[in-house]
Every structure is written in structure tokens, then in C-alpha cells.
């Protein structure tokens, strides 16, 4: 199915074909919410995408945990399914020479850049045309003996031509298999990067509907953030706008390279886990509700143990809803409940989906919800706006309830998801080993 004509016109304007005389100091990537690119049908229920993604969220978080730290056999599952049905953010890039436009989901929890390619043995239904590497003069297969092939966790070799094969299997059953190659990527500020290692997917299935592939921006060697580091440094930032229908290139964005810091940016240390080196860990120290620090849970609940690889908090653009260790989540939920009751929010007696704290706000504005602040080591904090944690859920009969949009984690890993990150400029500064958060950053 072809993309809407208005969108194609927009993409033509955002990806020029000429190369700048002087490469810019930063690499700009336009980013769009999937609702802006592929609007939901008229009459679609609020929160519908959210409900469809929660099971995939759970599968993703399970596979972000390295099963070897639990003494289990490590199955051939590297990453988990990305919840594409919940408000995904697409990065727009050009691939090949001449370039073809590709909409790739931004994922800080994985490394490989890949897209569906012709000829395709089995491909899911994407909105645009499949990329055909036979039409690119800069496309090159990578040999099995190459260093790039050896970086793969599960490399394969094509016996007929000696080409390297990759396979990524996700925890929800989604997968991508194909040829490891290099090609040119074109970005919106007239700049291209040659010889980018990427996957050309020939056999793909699962929850990748509408996207052309995935843009891995993890900390590993295959990541696009690592591959462009010689020119732009090991630092990038993004802002995922709350305005999901905006097609403005000035709304959501992804930028590689060091940019001027917003005065409101607060930094905390970037931690490393030797068992999961591709993930971005932060030292989260707790929560506040309505100005009071939440108590009643173990201080170790959110801490990373580098010796075992257990625990910790990961900043992840591929997970929708934030998940915190159960005792920490329950303490936060109970503190919110108490303050919500004082503010006149009527709690519902039943759960909705995975949410166990839902409210009937008829007669009570959502803006009056008790404010939640996330605290990090070094004094950094994220004061969440209500729309980042009080999520609408349609329950029929023209009724919309609001639920505390957080979950309990029982697998040892806490995750700061993209719904809570929306509207913040998030800076991943690997060079200085820190992560920054700035409100109103889009």
C-alpha cells in the first residue's frame, strides 16, 4: 500500500539529493509519530494502540534481561518485539544510490540497522515499497570472513557466494533474517554516510507492520550511533513529541553529534552492564508524588548489580510503558492513590488491562492529578506532565477512564519507556558517560 500523497510530498522535501559542501557538525534525522504518517481510521478508540502493545512490551522486557544471569540456557533470542502498534516513532532516512526513502523505528535497545529488501521470500505488509538493493550502486554484501560478520551474535554464511547472513529473533515471535551488507545512508541535512553496515531482510515476520525496518541506536558496534561516531562523536539526542499527529520536522527529532544544551537539561551518570553492553542504564534513586518522596520499598530495588548483571533501570525507546520493580511500583502507586483521593479522583474498583490504578475523572480535570517526579543520582529529575502518566482508556458507552500508566516488573529489570519520555529532550552522551533530560525539549 502506498503512503498518502501528502506524506510522499513531505518526504520529498525533507530528503534532498545533493551533498553539502561542508559536512555539518550534527546529523539531523526527521522523526514522525506513526499516527502522523499513517493516521488511524475515523472513529478509532482512544488508547487502542496502547492496549495492543502491552503484551509486546512484556515480551520485550523479558528479553532485555540476559537469561544467563538467571542460570538458564540462553535461547537464540537477542531482542524482543517492538510494540509497533503503540505510537511508534519513525526516523526518515534515505538508503542507497540513488536513494530510496525508508521509515525506520528508533530503538535504543538494539544495535543493527535493517530493512526489508527485494527479492523477499517472506515479508510483512509495509506501507511503502520494499528496498531493492540491485538498484543501488553503493550496495555491497559483507563476506563471512569480515570483522562485521564476527560481531553478530548468531552469524551465518551463504555457501553459494560466501556472503554473511544475519538473524534476529524477538521475544514475541517476530524475526528478521537476511544478508549483512553496507550501503549509503542519506540524512535530511544534505549529508550522506557511506559504508553503513546494515541488514537486508529477506525473511521477516511479526509486529513490524507499516515500518520499513529498524534503526538500532544502542551502544554496540553495529549501532548507527557507533558507526557515525568517527564524524559526530558518541553522543545523540532525541525528542518524542506528545503531538502525535504533527508532520512538522520541528516537532520530534533525532540528532547525532553534540548540540547546545538546553538550560533545563539535568544529567545523571550513564551506567554499564557487562552482561547487556548495548543497553543504556541509569542510576534511578526514587520517586516523588505531590512533592513528597515515596518510601516503603528497598533502595536496592532499582539498583544495577554489575557483578551479576541483575536489576537496574534502562532508558528504552522501544518499550512503551515504564516498568519498575514490584515493591517500588506498588509504593509509588499507593502514594499516588492517596494523593489522588485527596484531589477528588474517584478510583475504579477494577483493573483495566495491566493497569491496576484507574480513575473516573468526570468532573475532575486531568491536570489536577498529583504530580509525579522521577529522581536520579546526582540530583537529576524528570517532572512528568500528567499526559505522560495518566493515560486514557476507552471502556465503551462513550466513557473514557484514566489509568496510572506504569507497570510492575517481576523480572529484575526496570525500564523507562517512551510514553514517560515524551516531550523530553533525552541526551545519550556516551563520551561523557551521562544521560540528560530536558522538559519541553521538542
Per-residue b or e along 162-186, where b marks 16 or more CB atoms closer than 10 Å to that residue's CB: ebbbbbbbbbbebbbbbbbbbbbbb
Rounded Cα gap, residues 243 and 251, in angstroms: 8
Q: Give 209-255 pLDDT, tens digit per residue.
A: 678 999 999 999 999 999 999 999 999 999 998 765 555 545 899 99
Residue 365: per-residue pLDDT: 76
Domain limits for position 129: 5-44+76-256
The residue that leads in pLDDT, 54 or 370, is 370
**Block residue for cell numbers 529473533:** 169
Q: Do 271 and 240 reside in the same domain of the chain?
A: no
Q: Do 225 and 306 reside in the same domain of the chain?
A: no
In this structure, of 140-144, 177-181, 191-195, 390-394, the range with the lowest mean pLDDT score is 390-394
Q: Give 166-187 pLDDT, tens digit per residue.
A: 998 766 667 899 999 999 999 9
Residue 350: per-residue pLDDT: 85
Report yes or no on 81 lying in a domain: yes
Q: Do 97 and 160 reside in the same domain of the chain?
A: yes
Instruction: Decide if 195 contacts 142 (C-beta within 8 A).
Output: no
- pTM for this model (two decimals): 0.87
350 CA to centre of own chain: 30
In this structure, of 64-68, 224-228, 244-248, 300-304, the range with the lowest mean pLDDT score is 64-68
Residue 344: per-residue pLDDT: 87
Report yes or no on 136 lying in a domain: yes
Report yes or no on 415 lying in a domain: yes
- Judge whether residue 385 has pLDDT over 90: yes
Rounded Cα gap, residues 335 and 322, in angstroms: 17
Report yes or no on 14 lying in a domain: yes
Which phi-psi region, left, alpha or beta, contains residue 263 (left: φ > 0; alpha: ψ -120 to 50)? alpha
Residue 12: per-residue pLDDT: 41
Q: Do 134 and 21 reside in the same domain of the chain?
A: yes
- Judge whether residue 96 has pLDDT over 90: yes
- Judge whether residue 164 has pLDDT over 90: yes
Q: Do 233 and 326 reside in the same domain of the chain?
A: no
Residue 83: per-residue pLDDT: 32
Across the chain, what does the average pLDDT equal? Answer: 83
Q: Which of 231, 256, 281 is the last residue of a domain?
A: 256
- Judge whether residue 138 has pLDDT over 60: yes
**Block residue for cell numbers 548540540:** 259
Q: Which of 225, 256, 287 is the last residue of a domain?
A: 256
Rounded Cα gap, residues 59 and 170, in angstroms: 8
Burial (CB count within 10 angstroms: exposed 0-12, middle 13-18, buried 19+), residue 246: middle
Confidence of residue 36 (pLDDT cuts 50, 70, 90): confident
State how beta strands 313-315 and 310-311 pair: unpaired
Q: Give 249-291 pLDDT, tens digit per residue.
A: 458 999 999 999 999 999 999 999 999 999 999 999 999 999 9
Summarize the confidence of residues 191-217 as an average pLDDT: 88
Nearest partner of 399 among 360, 441, 356, judged by Cα: 360
Mean pLDDT is highest, among 26-30, 40-44, 80-84, for 26-30
The residue that leads in pLDDT, 354 or 155, is 155
Summarize the confidence of residues 355-363 as an average pLDDT: 88
Q: Which of 191, 222, 256 is the last residue of a domain?
A: 256
Residue 160: per-residue pLDDT: 82
Rounded Cα gap, residues 352 and 367, in angstroms: 21
Report yes or no on 65 lying in a domain: no
Q: Do 285 and 248 reside in the same domain of the chain?
A: no
Q: Give 327-344 pLDDT, tens digit per residue.
A: 999 999 999 999 999 988
Q: Do 10 and 151 reside in the same domain of the chain?
A: yes
The residue that leads in pLDDT, 292 or 85, is 292
Residue 378: per-residue pLDDT: 96
Residue 235: per-residue pLDDT: 97
* Bridge partner list, 304: 311
Q: Which residues are identified as catalytic?
A: 107, 316
Rounded Cα gap, residues 53 and 109, in angstroms: 17
Report yes or no on 285 lying in a domain: yes
DSSP string covering 76-93, please? S--B----TTTT-EEEEE
Task: Supply 53's cell numbers.
Answer: 502493545
Phi, psi of 67 (to 5 degrees): -65, -20
Rounded Cα gap, residues 34 and 410, in angstroms: 30
Instruction: Decide if 84 contacts 209 (C-beta within 8 A).
Output: yes
The residue that leads in pLDDT, 1 or 387, is 387
Instruction: Decide if 328 contacts 297 (C-beta within 8 A).
Output: yes
Q: Do 185 and 143 reside in the same domain of the chain?
A: yes
Residue 170: per-residue pLDDT: 66
Confidence of residue 68 (pLDDT cuts 50, 70, 90): very low
DSSP string covering 132-197, please? -GGG-TT-EEPBTTSHHHHHSSS-EEETTTTEEEEEEEBTTS-EEEEEEEEEEEE-TTS-EEEEEE
- Judge whether residue 126 has pLDDT over 60: yes
- Judge whether residue 82 has pLDDT over 70: no
Report yes or no on 137 lying in a domain: yes
Residue 185: per-residue pLDDT: 96
Residue 41: per-residue pLDDT: 61
DSSP state of 134: G
What is the domain count for the chain?
Answer: 2
Q: Do 152 and 217 reside in the same domain of the chain?
A: yes
Report yes or no on 63 lying in a domain: no
Rounded Cα gap, residues 8 and 26, in angstroms: 25
Q: Do 242 and 337 reside in the same domain of the chain?
A: no
Rounded Cα gap, residues 404 and 408, in angstroms: 11
Residue 79: per-residue pLDDT: 26
Q: Do 82 and 147 reside in the same domain of the chain?
A: yes
Q: Do 210 and 277 reside in the same domain of the chain?
A: no
Rounded Cα gap, residues 22 and 302, in angstroms: 45
34 CA to centre of own chain: 13
Residue 381: per-residue pLDDT: 97
Q: Which residues contact 54 (CB under 8 A, 6 or more apart)?
A: 83, 320, 321, 353, 354
> 24: domain CATH number?
2.40.70.10
Confidence of residue 95 (pLDDT cuts 50, 70, 90): very high
Amino acid at each position: 500500500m502506498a503512503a498518502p500523497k501528502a506524506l510522499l510530498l513531505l518526504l520529498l522535501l525533507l530528503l534532498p539529493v545533493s551533498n553539502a559542501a561542508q559536512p555539518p557538525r550534527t546529523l539531523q534525522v526527521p522523526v514522525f509519530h506513526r499516527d502522523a504518517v499513517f493516521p488511524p481510521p475515523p472513529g478509532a478508540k482512544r488508547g487502542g494502540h496502547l492496549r495492543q502493545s502491552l503484551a509486546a512490551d512484556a515480551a520485550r522486557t523479558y528479553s532485555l534481561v540476559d537469561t544467563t544471569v538467571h542460570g538458564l540456557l540462553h535461547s537464540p533470542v537477542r531482542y524482543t518485539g517492538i510494540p509497533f502498534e503503540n505510537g511508534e516513532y519513525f526516523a526518515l532516512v534515505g538508503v542507497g544510490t540513488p536513494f530510496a526513502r525508508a521509515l525506520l523505528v528508533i530503538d535504543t535497545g538494539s544495535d543493527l540497522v535493517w530493512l526489508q529488501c527485494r527479492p523477499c521470500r517472506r515479508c510483512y505488509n509495509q506501507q511503502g515499497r520494499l528496498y531493492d538493493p540491485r538498484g543501488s550502486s553503493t550496495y555491497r554484501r559483507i563476506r563471512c570472513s569480515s570483522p562485521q560478520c564476527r560481531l553478530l551474535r548468531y552469524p551465518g554464511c551463504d555457501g553459494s557466494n560466501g556472503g554473511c547472513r544475519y538473524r534476529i529473533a524477538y521475544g514475541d515471535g517476530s524475526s528478521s533474517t537476511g544478508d549483512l551488507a553496507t550501503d549509503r545512508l542519506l540524512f535530511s541535512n544534505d549529508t550522506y554516510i557511506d559504508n553503513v553496515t546494515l541488514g537486508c531482510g529477506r525473511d521477516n515476520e511479526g509486529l513490524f507492520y507499516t515500518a520499513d525496518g529498524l534503526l538500532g541506536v544502542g551502544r554496540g558496534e553495529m549501532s548507527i550511533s557507533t558507526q557515525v561516531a568517527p564524524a559526530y562523536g558518541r553522543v545523540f539526542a532525541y525528542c518524542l513529541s506528545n503531538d502525535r499527529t504533527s508532520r512538522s520536522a520541528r516537532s520530534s527529532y533525532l540528532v547525532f553529534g553534540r548540540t547546545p544544551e538546553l538550560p533545563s537539561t539535568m544529567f545523571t551518570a550513564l551506567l554499564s552492564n557487562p552482561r547487556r553492553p548495548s543497553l543504556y542504564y541509569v542510576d534511578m534513586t526514587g520517586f516523588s508524588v505531590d512533592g513528597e518522596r515515596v518510601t516503603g520499598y528497598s533502595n536496592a530495588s532499582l539498583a544495577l548489580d554489575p557483578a551479576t548483571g541483575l536489576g537496574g533501570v534502562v532508558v528504552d525507546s522501544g518499550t512503551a510503558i515504564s516498568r519498575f520493580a514490584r515493591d517500588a511500583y506498588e509504593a509509588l502507586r499507593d502514594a499516588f492513590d492517596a494523593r489522588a483521593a485527596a484531589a477528588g479522583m474517584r478510583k475504579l474498583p477494577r483493573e483495566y488491562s495491566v493497569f491496576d490504578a484507574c480513575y473516573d475523572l468526570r468532573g475532575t480535570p486531568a491536570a489536577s492529578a498529583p504530580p509525579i517526579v522521577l529522581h536520579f543520582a546526582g540530583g537529576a529529575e524528570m517532572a512528568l506532565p500528567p499526559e505522560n502518566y495518566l493515560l486514557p482508556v476507552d471502556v465503551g458507552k462513550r466513557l473514557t477512564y484514566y489509568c496510572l500508566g506504569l507497570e510492575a516488573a517481576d523480572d529484575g529489570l526496570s525500564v523507562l519507556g517512551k510514553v514517560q519520555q515524551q516531550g523530553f529532550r533525552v541526551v545519550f552522551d556516551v563520551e561523557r558517560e551521562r544521560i540528560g533530560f530536558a522538559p519541553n525539549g521538542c
